[in-house]
Each structure stands twice: as structure tokens, then as C-alpha cells.
């Protein structure tokens, strides 16, 4: 297979997955809205989705060869994983409350504030500073959401508060989920499965106490022999699980910036489909506010991508043209920098670098410079990362793995 045909096939695969993701996400939102209009039990809808994640993920992971769960300490489990499962459940319930109280289009417009919450929480929790471009990209998001709110014809305060709180919860969940992936090397989908199963077990008693009796006695559960509500519940749970799987599949195939564009396009697609099928009334100014908020999210992701690229360039070791490496009594010298924690290499009798010595770099009179002359002697140099980085079995450091992770883990 030629390179061009392979690239064409990969492009068609990504486009097909994106189109399928748009259709599944739109269907999930429309079905969820229809379900909650007739069956107003957000906690029950959440429990069905968590059950779907727990039931479908195991067989699917075995079929696709998703790597197994890694061992973590009980202390880490209760300190990080359990609160994450709690946050997932609460954010999901609040998200369904918002879907019940306000229109799908307005709910997705308000969810565009996630970058704003992420920037604020990252600053408070992680002490992370952003570039000026990132801060400026938040302006159209805030203005767009404000315009959409002021012109929303089906506005509901409880729905707005629920959506903002759910978005805040998802932002927290993304921040700490990235920490778990960074600390443990766990697969994204495996983490989704663990959180879904744990949240289901934790809140099953709560659901039995608050919702079970009311659900069984609700007239729309089985109305005149019709199983419409049960079918919608099953479809909503399955589509929610499939949406997560498709989102992670697209993430694994494209760059973070490409996924950001795909995610913004998906939000526009969901808004458009919901307006067409559900027919909730909107004004021209309202639509302008929605588009401005979504465009702001796209600007934010582009600014974040540029910031990451600049950070990567700053961490590259300096190189200079030189015909031969600088040596001193059989040693090859490397740069001495507290930022890289480099050690010197000992030369074996055949001229190849053989071992990494746990000592400081040898100094010579001409200075220590990593040069292109190394290639002339066929010397393979492996620069070890700083001691405080975790090195995984695949040879990548935790830092490298962290940089390759997508911005958004849960959708």
C-alpha cells in the first residue's frame, strides 16, 4: 500500500468517525430531552447511563484489546478515584436536570463556558498560568453566553444554575482525570469504566431510596401497554456509552487541535439538529450569541495548542554544528544543566557509548556541547529524564505522556 493511499484511508476513517460521533451525540441529546420531558427523573436516567457503561465496556475492551487496569494503592484510590466517581455522578445528574429544564441548544451554549472554569480551577488548584492569548480567547465565550442568556425565550434559572454547576464539575473531573492518567498510565476508556462502575455502586442505595418507588408508579413508565419510555431509557444509555467510545477513538487518531475543531463542530451540529427536530423558538440575536460562544471555544483551544507548542520548543536541548564530539580522557561530555539532570557517558573499548554513570558531568576546557558530530561515530545517546519523572515500560516518561493527552476527557 502506497503512502498516499494509506493517508487517504486514515483521513476517511477519521471523517467517518467524526460524522458518526456527530450523529450519535445529536441523537443522544434529542432522545434525552424527549425522555426527560415525559419522564422527569434525572437520577434514574443517570443510573441507566452508568449501568450501560458498566455492562458494555468490559466485553468491548476485551474485543478491542484495551490494556488492563494497573495496580494502584488503596490510599490513592480513596483519595482520588472515589471523589472522581462522586463528581461524575453529580455532574451527570445536574446535566440531566439542565436538559430537562432548558433547551438543548441553550444548554450546549452554556457548556461552552468550560474553558473559563478550567482556566480558573487550574490556576487555583495547580498554580498553572496561561498566556495572554488564552485569556483573550475567553472574552467571546463570556460575551456569547451572556447574549444567548439574555435572549433565550425558554430561559429557566434552575436550568442555568444546573448547567453551570455541571460544567464546573466536568472541568474539575477533567483536571483530576488527567492527573490520574499521568500518575498511573491508565487507559482513558479503562478510567471511564472504573468511574462509571464505582459511581453506580456508590449511588445505587440513594437511587433505591429516592427514585425507585416514584419511577415504578409513574404513569408514563408503561403507558397503555406502550414501552416507549423503557426503549428511550435503553437508547439513551447505549448512545451515551457509544458517544464516549467514539470521542476517545477520534482523540487517539488526531492531534489535540484537530480534535478541538471536531469538538466545536460537533457542538454546532448538536445545536442545529436540536433546533430542527425539537423546534424550540430562537431569535437571530440568540443564534449569534450561540455561534460566538462556540467560536470562542475554538479560539481557546487554538491558543492552548500554540502555548503547548511553544513550551515544547523551550524544552529541546541546544544543538550546534561541530565535526567531532568534545572528549576528555575517554569521556564524552554533555551539557551541565539543572533543568535536564544529565550525567556523563563512559566510552567502551570499541568506541561506542555503553553505560550511563551516576555522576556529574565531566568538564573540559572547550565547554560541553551536544553536537551533530556524534552521528559520525555511530554513537547512540540515550538521555535519561530527571529522577522525579516516572518512566513507563514503553520508554516514554510521564511528562511525555502528559503532553500527548487530549484536553477534554469526558464529553
Give the tens place of pLDDT for each residue, 164-208. Answer: 999 999 989 888 888 898 888 888 889 999 999 999 999 999 999
Q: For residue 357, tell me if it sits in a domain.
A: no
Q: For residue 66, tell me if it sits in a domain.
A: yes
0.75 surpassed by pTM: no
Tell me, what's the pLDDT at 410? 52
Tell me, what's the pLDDT at 316? 60
Domain count, the chain: 1
Q: For residue 200, tell me if it sits in a domain.
A: yes
User: What are the pLDDT digits (tens) for 242-295?
Assistant: 998 998 888 878 877 788 888 888 999 999 999 999 988 899 999 999 999 999
Q: For residue 350, tell me if it sits in a domain.
A: no
Q: Are 100 and 36 in contact (CB under 8 A)?
A: yes
Tell me, what's the pLDDT at 101? 95
Taking the C-alpha atoms of residue 34 and residue 24, their distance in angstroms, rounded to an integer, is 15
Tell me, what's the pLDDT at 409? 53
Q: What percentage of residues in the chain have a pLDDT greater than 90?
A: 50
Tell me, what's the pLDDT at 333? 45
pLDDT top residue among 369 and 138: 138
Q: For residue 356, tell me if it sits in a domain.
A: no
Q: Are 25 and 243 in contact (CB under 8 A)?
A: yes
Q: For residue 135, tell me if it sits in a domain.
A: yes
Q: What is the mean pLDDT of the chain?
A: 80
Tell me, what's the pLDDT at 346? 39
Q: What confidence tier does 220 reach under pLDDT thresholds 50, 70, 90? A: confident
Residue-range definition of the domain harbouring residue 53? 3-315+397-403
Q: Is the pLDDT of residue 326 over 70?
A: no
Q: For residue 338, tell me if it sits in a domain.
A: no
Q: For residue 366, tell me if it sits in a domain.
A: no
Amino acid at each position: 500500500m502506497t503512502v498516499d493511499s494509506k493517508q487517504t484511508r486514515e483521513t476517511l476513517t477519521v471523517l467517518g468517525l467524526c460524522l458518526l460521533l456527530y450523529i450519535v451525540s445529536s441523537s443522544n441529546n434529542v432522545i434525552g430531552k424527549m425522555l426527560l420531558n415525559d419522564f422527569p427523573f434525572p437520577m434514574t436516567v443517570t443510573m441507566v447511563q452508568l449501568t450501560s457503561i458498566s455492562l458494555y465496556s468490559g466485553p468491548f475492551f476485551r474485543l478491542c484489546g484495551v490494556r488492563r487496569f494497573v495496580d494502584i494503592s488503596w490510599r490513592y484510590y480513596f483519595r482520588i478515584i472515589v471523589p472522581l466517581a462522586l463528581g461524575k455522578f453529580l455532574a451527570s445528574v445536574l446535566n440531566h436536570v439542565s436538559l430537562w429544564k432548558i433547551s438543548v441548544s441553550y444548554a450546549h451554549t452554556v457548556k461552552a463556558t468550560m474553558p473559563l472554569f478550567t482556566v480558573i480551577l487550574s490556576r487555583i488548584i495547580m498554580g498553572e498560568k496561561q498566556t495572554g492569548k488564552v485569556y483573550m480567547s475567553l472574552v467571546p465565550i463570556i460575551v456569547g453566553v451572556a447574549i444567548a442568556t439574555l435572549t433565550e425565550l425558554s430561559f429557566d434559572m434552575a436550568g442555568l444554575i444546573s448547567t453551570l454547576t455541571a460544567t464546573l464539575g466536568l472541568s474539575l473531573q477533567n483536571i483530576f482525570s488527567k492527573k490520574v492518567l499521568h500518575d498511573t498510565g491508565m487507559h482513558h476508556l479503562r478510567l471511564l469504566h472504573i468511574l462509571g462502575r464505582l459511581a453506580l455502586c456508590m449511588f445505587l442505595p440513594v437511587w433505591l431510596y429516592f427514585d425507585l418507588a416514584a419511577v415504578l408508579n409513574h404513569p408514563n413508565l408503561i403507558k397503555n401497554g406502550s414501552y416507549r419510555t423503557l426503549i428511550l431509557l435503553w437508547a439513551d444509555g447505549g448512545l451515551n456509552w457509544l458517544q464516549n467510545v467514539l470521542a476517545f477513538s477520534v482523540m487517539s487518531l488526531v492531534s489535540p487541535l484537530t480534535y478541538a475543531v471536531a469538538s466545536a463542530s460537533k457542538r454546532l451540529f448538536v445545536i442545529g439538529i436540536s433546533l430542527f427536530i425539537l423546534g424550540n423558538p430562537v431569535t437571530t440575536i440568540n443564534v449569534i450569541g450561540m455561534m460566538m460562544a462556540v467560536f470562542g471555544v475554538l479560539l481557546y483551544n487554538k491558543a492552548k495548542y500554540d502555548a503547548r507548542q511553544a513550551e515544547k520548543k523551550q524544552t529541546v536541548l541546544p544543538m550546534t554544528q561541530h565535526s567531532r564530539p568534545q572528549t576528555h580522557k575517554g569521556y564524552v561530555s554533555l551539557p551541565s544543566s539543572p533543568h535536564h539532570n544529565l550525567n556523563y557517558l563512559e566510552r567502551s573499548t570499541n568506541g561506542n557509548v555503553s553505560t550511563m554513570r551516576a555522576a556529574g558531568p565531566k568538564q573540559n576546557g572547550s565547554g560541553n556541547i551536544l553536537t551533530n558530530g556524534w552521528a559520525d561515530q555511530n554513537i547512540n545517546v540515550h538521555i535519561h529524564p530527571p529522577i522525579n519523572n516516572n518512566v513507563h515500560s514503553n520508554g516514554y516518561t510521564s511528562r511525555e505522556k502528559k503532553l500527548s493527552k487530549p484536553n477534554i476527557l469526558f464529553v
